[in-house]
A and B are shown apart, each in its own frame.
Chain A
């Protein structure tokens, strides 16, 4: 049975974009969900549960990333990730 793929575009708003801290938080939240999560930018699609993979996207402040989640809790995963991204990863220096 093919799972439905949920998709959402998110804009990075924190000052330094996708660096180690945000990538770590993103991967951590993504890993809490069973859904397979990928993140795409500029045609490169990588695992949303891997810090190193997220860093290779070279996403900066203002970059739009496309997050896809495949699995029963996909929609929920996207909600959590979107909230994290829009809160600028709760990074005090980057608000």
Chain B
């Protein structure tokens, strides 16, 4: 099966981590600004307690280093000259960045070292444990493989649905109808997908054009301004792909029973696909809504064609006796 969207996981930079964590991690930059373009080559957190004690064997130099309550207390317990020496050694390893948690204030010596070695020194209000968890999630988001695909994405009946098809076939009109039915738009015409660490595929809009939509004949509209805040959604796991295809191009490949589920592969993730022949006048809105509800049922284990098949087979066996 061809993979329709492939992009390698890219290492992220301290700058991007800082931007993403400004609100969510209450991160701020204290010193070492010149090192903001430094790459974080391992999306993980390390607490450099052993390093501050002078032990550098197996030191994970590619990770974000977090100085928490324990590290800070140990560091402050050292005589001043040793303190400086140990801190300098930590900076000299050129870790991507060092974060002081729990509102600890880096001393002037640490700030000077951050500038000297171009290693950004950051601060957070958060307690170390929750910070490490939240920072790991943000790092996973930043380094997840991502790609842009030509599809509109909606949340329908709790399911994340990519609607794809050739230009002008009615993706946006279908989305608009679904919005009128009370469902939410995730992205119009261009959806950014990323693969999370747990193997799930998540879709969202490209920030610059988020929630704007092109309606042929009308032009560009801003969906939440017209339909309200509930008509849009920031991101959603991709559960299903609905492919709109001109009926003239479909031939007899259309599945009539629902037994042969097709799959589309994005970033190595297989997503169930429903191919919909589009004929003039077909009500795509109700159709897509029903597709979403049916797949939601199937996910919960109730599969209509199997149930019906069982029922008929049981009856036929009885009648044949």
Contact = CB atoms under 8 A, between A and B. Distances in A.
A49 B190 contact: no
A53 B212 CA distance: 11
Interface size class of B (residues with CB under 8 A): 10 to 19
Contacts of B209: 52, 55-56
B148 interface: yes
A56 B150 CA distance: 11
Contacts of A49: 167-168
Given A46-B190, A47-B189, A56 B167 contact: no
Contacts of A52: 188-190, 209, 212-214, 220
A73 B150 CA distance: 22
A11 interface: no
A contact face: mostly helix, strand, loop, or mixed: mixed
Interface in A18-62: 20, 31, 43-47, 49-53, 55-56, 58
Contact of A20 (B188, B213, B220): B220
Given A43-B7, A45-B148, A50 B206 contact: no
B147 to A, nearest CB: 8
A31 B167 contact: yes
Interface in B201-237: 206, 208-209, 212-214, 220
A41 to B, nearest CB: 11
28 contacts: A31-B167, A31-B168, A44-B148, A45-B148, A46-B148, A46-B150, A47-B150, A47-B189, A47-B190, A49-B167, A50-B150, A50-B167, A50-B190, A50-B214, A51-B189, A51-B214, A51-B220, A52-B189, A52-B190, A52-B212, A52-B220, A53-B148, A55-B209, A56-B148, A56-B190, A56-B206, A56-B208, A56-B209
